[in-house]
Amino acid sequence: MTTLDPQQAAARSWFESLRDRICAAFETIEREAGSDATFDYLPWWREQDGAKAGPIEEGGAGGGVRGVMKGKVFEKVGVNVSTVGGAFSPDFARTIHGAGEENPGFFATGISLVAHMANPHVPAVHMNTRMLVTTKRWFGGGADLNPPIPYDEDTADFHAAFRAACEAHEAGDYPRFAKWAGDYFYIPHRGVHRGVGGIFYDHLEGDFDDSFAFTRAVGEAFLDVYPRIVRRRMGLPWTAAEEAHLLEWRGRYVEFNLVYDRGTLFGLKTGGNIDAILMSLPPRVTWG
């Protein structure tokens, strides 16, 4: 039996509680739109040679819960949490901060969210935060807004929320993290960014309490700002041409996640649940 240390347990508990509050907020928006849509939850266990399927505390390789809702406002939104552990493959270990062939063991816990919206005027969004332990211990994550039809007010509010979260914590560095998001959420073969940015950070391995507090602030900022933006736009009418633009624009999101996204690669390389990993893909999409 493996016992999570207090920091690992606290991080897991926080990510699960944030999931619960985000899902409740999104279901409330569906009620306001006259929909009775709710999240469907599917637990899964990671499989790895030599480890049974089950929680880490019971000697298993860990797992998670995939939550998906398809409604009137949220055409498809996935909110996943996972807590997994084990050993990286030798090749993959060489690409992970603090891991290597001599010590490929790891522990990871986090939340990942992607929302694809029915109304082209409502921006899609991505958010994830995580803690990863190898021979080092660090936090990473961020959020970025992906509007098919950008509104300056929405972009400004989204960035302001995360700027405030950064400025309230020593671990936060808004100029650096905003630039990091702009550089990361970019599609080289298209020569375009996939949205209007946000923040992205990784390998935040300073003081645990401050890094964890900042990571919690990122989650709280998202929970505050994104529902406000959704409510601002969800009642706007849209045209067939705008919907066609939405479906083609989603193709850019698919291309980024399948070709460049580190989280997708991490899940696939560590034996994660395929449906949970690919929940970021939209339900409908077209290419020109």
Catalytic residues: 126
Following DSSP, what letter does each residue of 146-197 receive, concatenated?
E-SS--HHHHHHHHHHHHHHHHTSTT--HHHHHHHHHHHSEETTTTEESSSE
Cα Rg, the chain, nearest whole Å? 19
Q: How many CB atoms lie within 10 A of CB 203?
A: 12
- Rounded to whole angstroms, how far apart are CA atoms 230 and 233? 5
66: left (phi over 0), alpha (psi -120 to 50) or beta: beta
Report whether 274 contacts 264 (CB < 8 A): no
The rounded Cα 59 to chain-centroid distance in angstroms is 27
Q: How many CB atoms lie within 10 A of CB 85?
A: 22
- Tokens found for residue 265: 């690669």
- Tokens found for residue 144: 């970025």
Query: What Cα–Cα distance (Å) separates residue 42 from each residue in 64, 144, 257, 284?
Result: 8, 26, 22, 22
